[in-house]
Amino acid sequence: MDITLTNNTPPDSWTLTDRCRLLANALVNPQNKGAQDRLCMMLHNQLECLEASLSQPIPEHRKDLGIPLDDGLFDYAELEPDELCDQCMALNFTLMTLQDRKIKEIIAFILWERFEMLRCSLYASTEEAA
Q: Domain total for the chain?
A: 2
Q: Are residues 64 and 4 in the same domain?
A: yes
Q: Do both 72 and 113 map to the same domain?
A: no
pTM: 0.67
Q: Are residues 26 and 55 in the same domain?
A: yes
Indicate if 30 and 94 belong to the same structural domain.
Answer: no
By residue range, what is the domain housing residue 49? 1-76
> What pLDDT does residue 130 have?
64
Is residue 19 located within the same domain as residue 47? yes
Read off the pLDDT of residues 36-85 as tens digits, 9 standing for 90 and up. 778 888 889 999 999 999 999 988 888 888 888 888 888 888 889 999 99
| Residue-level pLDDT at 33 | 66
Same domain, 68 and 20: yes
What is the rounded CA–CA span in Å between residue 36 and residue 15? 22
